[in-house]
Amino acid sequence: MIRRLGTGLRRALATLLTLAGLGLAVQAAWIPVKAALAQVLLERAFARSLSGGLPTKPWPWADTEPVARLTVAGRSFVVLRGGSGQALAFGPGHLDGTPEAGAPGTAVFAAHRDTQFAGLGKLGPGDLVTVTGRDGRTLRFRVTGTRVARWDASGIDPRAPGRHLDLVTCWPLEALQTGPLRLIVETKLASEPGRS
């Protein structure tokens, strides 16, 4: 009888630990999976925006819409208006209060370090970043440098002279906890090849 109780307890404990492990795995994968699936809907909405010339929401209850397509480190992402946590859960966000990419000043695109901007640390001076706006124009930016700064002392000036785009994500890239540091990849407009 005691032996049966011990075996049953071990099975129950093994089942409980297995379920807890599966729950943790699903939770860890949730944001990357959600971001990847959302990019399909965002790409469709961006294509409709390009063809119609008007912002198109990716789903009816969305509080944002696609504003650009960003290609960086060999990967392409649809960029959303705003930098709220809700927007960043689905893709890179164009931060409010910064100009459009290619306009005078410094535009800022931000994304999570474990989704779209996971490869940001591999960029170096001279690397190419392209942005296609809702108007269909594709702009080419060249990386001029990278740096790490506190989120509240980034030194990014939206009104800086020139035409710049800064890509921002949490730092260090491999960290599990959110901290005060941000990786900033600085770029400068290189050319405007025209409509895509």
168 vs 171: CA distance, rounded Å = 9
Segments making up each domain of the chain, as ranges: 27-195
Enter the CATH code of domain 27-195.
Answer: 2.40.260.10
Residue 6, SS3 per DSSP = helix
Question: In the predicted model, what is the mean pLDDT of residues 137-144?
Answer: 97
Half-sphere exposure of 143 (CA within 13 A, CB side): 20
31-37 long-range CB contacts below 8 Å, 24 or more apart?
31/89, 31/112, 31/114, 31/115, 32/114, 32/115, 34/89, 34/90, 35/89, 35/90, 35/91, 35/112, 35/115, 35/116, 36/115
Q: Which residue in the block uniquely carries the two structure tokens 């492990």?
A: 21
Task: Tell me the pLDDT tens digit for each residue of 49-89.
Answer: 888 877 888 888 888 899 999 999 889 999 999 988 778 88
- Mean of pLDDT over the chain: 87
Kindly state the tokens that stand for 119: 């490869």
Share of the chain above pLDDT 70, in %: 88
